[in-house]
Structure 1
Amino acid sequence: MAFREPIDLIVRGGTVVNADWQGAADVLVRDGRVLALVEPGTYRSADTRGVTEIDASGRLVLPGGVDPHCHVGFTSGEFTSLDDYRQATTAAVFGGTTTIVDFAIPRPGQQPADVVAAQRAKADQGLCNSALHACVVEWDDTVPEQLRSVVADGVVTVKMFTTYRGETMADEKTILNVMTTLRDLGGMVCVHCEADHIISDVQERGEAAGAISACHHADTRPELAETASVAEILAIAESVAAPVYFVHQSTPEAVDLVARARSRGVRAFTEAVAHHLVLDESAYAGAHPERFVCCPPLRSAPTVAGLRDRVRMGQVATIGSDHCCYDTAQKESVSHDVRAMPNGLPGVETRMPVLFSELVVKGGLPLGRFVEALCANPARLNGLYPRKGVIAPGSDADFAVWDPSLTYEMRSAALHMATDYTPYEGLTVTGRPVTVVVGGRPVTDAGRLLDPTPRGRHIRSGALDRALVC
Structure 2
Amino acid sequence: MSLVIKGGTIVAADRSYAADVLVEDGTITAIGAGLNGDKELDAAGCYVMPGGIDPHTHLDMPFMGANSADDYEHGTRAGLAGGTTMVIDFCIPEHGQPLLDAFAAWDKRSQGATSDFSYHMCVTYWSDKVREDMAKVVERGVTTFKHFMAYKGALMVNDEEMFASFQRCAELGAMPLVHAENGDIVAALQKHYLAKGVTGPEGHALSRPPDVEGEAANRAIMLAYQAGCPIYIVHTSCIPAHEAIARARALGKRVYGEPLIQHLVLDESEYYNKDWRHAARRVMSPPFRDKLHQEDL
TM-score (norm 1): 0.61
Percent sequence identity over aligned pairs: 37
Identify the residue that residue 330 of structure 1 maps to in structure 2: none
Unaligned stretches of 5+ residues in structure 2: none
Deviations 1:107-164 (A, max 9, x none): 2332222111221344342111100000111111112210000000011111110011
Q: Does 2:10 align with 1:20?
A: no
For 2:289, the aligned partner's letter is R
Unaligned stretches of 5+ residues in structure 1: 1-6, 308-470
Of 262, 285, 291, which residue of structure 2 is paired with 1:295? Answer: 285
Identify the residue that residue 35 of structure 2 maps to in structure 1: 43
Flag as ranges the 4+ runs of structure 1 deviating above 3 A: 121-124
User: How many residue pairs were aligned?
Assistant: 294
Q: Does 2:154 align with 1:167?
A: yes
Q: Tell me how large the CA RMSD over aligned residues is.
A: 1.5
Q: Distance in 1 between matches of 2:287 and 2:109?
A: 30
Q: 8 Å contact 1:241–1:266 — kept in the other structure?
A: no
Considering Cα pairs closer than 8 Å and 6+ residues apart, tell me whether 1 or 2 has the greater RCO. 1
Q: CA deviation at 1:188?
A: 0.5
Q: 8 Å contact 1:68–1:100 — kept in the other structure?
A: yes
Q: How does 1:166-205 map to 2 (within 5 A)?
A: 166-205=153-192
For 1:302, the aligned partner's letter is L
Secondary structure of residue in 2 paired with 1:68? strand
Deviations 1:290-344 (A, max 9, x none): 111110111111211111xxxxxxxxxxxxxxxxxxxxxxxxxxxxxxxxxxxxx
Q: How does 1:54-453 map to 2 (within 5 A)?
A: 54-286=41-273, 287=275, 288-307=278-297
Q: Distance in 2 between matches of 1:183 and 1:35?
A: 37
More helix as a share of residues: 2
Deviations 1:8-34 (A, max 9, x none): 111111121222343222111001111
For 2:264, the aligned partner's letter is L
Secondary structure of residue in 2 paired with 1:27? strand
Q: Distance in 2 between matches of 1:156 and 1:83?
A: 25
Q: Distance in 1 between matches of 2:279 and 2:71?
A: 26
Q: Does 2:3 align with 1:9?
A: yes
For 1:152, the aligned partner's letter is E
For 1:266, the aligned partner's letter is K
Q: 8 Å contact 1:133–1:156 — kept in the other structure?
A: yes
Deviations 1:410-448 (A, max 9, x none): xxxxxxxxxxxxxxxxxxxxxxxxxxxxxxxxxxxxxxx
Secondary structure of residue in 2 paired with 1:144? helix
For 2:82, the aligned partner's letter is G
Q: 8 Å contact 2:175–2:231 — kept in the other structure?
A: yes
